[in-house]
Amino acid sequence: MATEIPSPRRVGMVSLGCPKALVDSERILTRLRADGYAMSPDYAGADVVLVNTCGFLDSAKEESLAAIGEAIAENGRVIVTGCMGNEAEVIRAKFPDVLAVTGAHQYEAVVEAVHEAAPASLGPYVDLIPQADPDAAGVKLTPRHYSYLKISEGCNHACSFCIIPQLRGKLDSRRIDAVLREAEKLVASGTRELLVISQDTSAYGVDVRHEERMWKGRPVRTHMTDLARELGQLRTPEGQQPWVRLHYVYPYPHVDAVIPLMAEGLLTPYLDIPFQHASPKVLKAMKRPANEAKVLERLRDWRAICPDLTIRSSFVVGFPGETEEDFQYLLDWLDEAQLDRVGAFRFEPVAGAAANDLPGAVPEAVKEERYARIMEKTESISAAKLAAKVGRTISVIIDEVGEADEDGDIGATGRSQADAPEIDGAVYLRGASADLQPGMFVEALIEEADAHDLFGAIV
């Protein structure tokens, strides 16, 4: 008589917020899959639904609460985790039926809550599933060809507009050998682009005094430059070099050392630096370094070493006390800096942030007007920089391949080394071959450009 193996319990996931939260979701699902759970793509098929929340801004909290409400309405069995988990009383007051609430990157607590809500015991024939290796490539919520590589948790800064240290704690760097092992396995399993993320990538290893670990028979420091150099040695099974992109890089002096690695081709020539503002007065109120003149000098030096360097940043407009003079200073600084990619945000008070008590609140109408002006400024800079690429042949990683049109032409969408997924522009291509697949690298002749994207043909 055959033994009937029961169907595994199924878990649904709603993941909100930044790439760091997405990595948390991947790790949670990897552990649950190792415990015998299956993943559900919809509410109806899930025995329990996890909602990984964002709690950085009030608007993000509203989105998180809406997602929790939808999950309860559609499924009824909901576990909440993530940054907004620190406000469990708010969540339970609005949704008393949630099964459990845990905080950011509390993996064990989330898994335990799932075990209690939907026990996974499937019997002796299927219980002996290997436990998840925390450094292995597990469940991915991104396309197969790119992966986020989180190197640390938390942050030691005390920026007046931010509550990340309250949500995620102080800097907690991962062992460098564990990070490199994860990166190696990701590349071996199909990743062609690694996106290095943290709250402060430049501070990696400060909390452990840049301790050394053995890797490939040699000591390697827990330090951003050592990490970058080692990631530049990775190769795919076919012998290709994956792209390695650095995000959330604060411009500490040692960042200068990674620019030559980009010039040598070991790293993707791309830096994501959260400048936030340029006015010394506003930066002081934000409790951020106010060395904007020195930054301009360093940008010039970096571009002299690596002319293809792309610099992305984000800025806050309408911060308390920001005057028209401060804002004009920022616009003039942007003219000098000529940043390639820029995101702008209207200042939004965050519960618990010191900036909420600062004098000189900027009216909403003024915030909107300044937001429009900074976007107009940065779009004109971007348009000019992209126009300069027309006529050039550049490397592109393919994200999506379309169907053949009536003339048999196949289009594809990809990104250049200047474009991170989700936040930057795209390269739209014609002339794709029938065997082109996402994750492949191609050379493309750029024929047109607009303020954000490039258009061309595969050569």
Sign of CA dihedral 295, 299, 304, 309: positive
On whether 54 is known to bind a ligand per the annotation, the reply is: yes
Write out pLDDT tens, residues 157-174: 888 888 888 877 899 999
pLDDT at 6: 63
In whole angstroms, what is the distance from residue 360 CA to residue 105 CA? Answer: 36
pLDDT at 228: 96
Q: Are residues 92 and 153 in the same domain?
A: no
Q: Is residue 5 part of a domain?
A: no
pLDDT at 3: 46
| Close Cβ partners of 441 (under 8 Å, ≥ 6 residues apart) | 192, 240, 395, 396, 397, 398
pLDDT at 392: 96
pLDDT at 23: 87
pLDDT at 194: 97
Q: Are residues 359 and 420 in the same domain?
A: no
Q: Where residue 217 sits, what CATH number does that domain have?
A: 3.80.30.20
Q: Is residue 377 part of a domain?
A: yes
Write out pLDDT tens, residues 262-303: 999 999 999 999 999 999 999 999 988 666 668 999 999 999
Among the three residues 74, 96, 117, which one is the final residue of a domain in this structure?
117
On whether 83 is known to bind a ligand per the annotation, the reply is: yes
Q: Are residues 412 and 450 in the same domain?
A: yes
pLDDT at 128: 40
Q: Are residues 320 and 382 in the same domain?
A: yes
| Close Cβ partners of 391 (under 8 Å, ≥ 6 residues apart) | 445, 446
Q: Are residues 157 and 113 in the same domain?
A: no
Q: Are residues 359 and 220 in the same domain?
A: yes
Q: Where residue 400 sits, what CATH number does that domain have?
A: 2.40.50.140
| Close Cβ partners of 341 (under 8 Å, ≥ 6 residues apart) | 310, 311, 312, 313, 382, 418, 423, 424, 425
Residues of the chain short of pLDDT 70, as ranges, are: 1-6, 121-138, 289-293
Contact between 177 and 214 under an 8 Å Cβ cutoff? The reply is yes
Q: Are residues 297 and 336 in the same domain?
A: yes
pLDDT at 5: 52
Of 176, 179, 185, 234, nearest to 210 by C-alpha is 176
pLDDT at 135: 47
Contact between 9 and 120 under an 8 Å Cβ cutoff? The reply is yes
pLDDT at 104: 79
Among the three residues 368, 387, 406, which one is the final residue of a domain in this structure?
387
Query: Across the strands, what pairs with 220?
Result: 213
On whether 155 is known to bind a ligand per the annotation, the reply is: yes
Of 298, 218, 306, 317, nearest to 269 by C-alpha is 306
Among the three residues 370, 387, 404, which one is the final residue of a domain in this structure?
387
Pairing of strands 146-150, 100-101: unpaired
Q: Are residues 371 and 401 in the same domain?
A: no
Calculate Rg over the CA atoms of the chain.
23
User: What is the number of structural domains in the chain?
Assistant: 3
How many residues does the structure list for the chain?
A: 459
| Close Cβ partners of 184 (under 8 Å, ≥ 6 residues apart) | 234
> Structural domain of residue 26, as residue ranges?
10-117
pLDDT at 66: 94
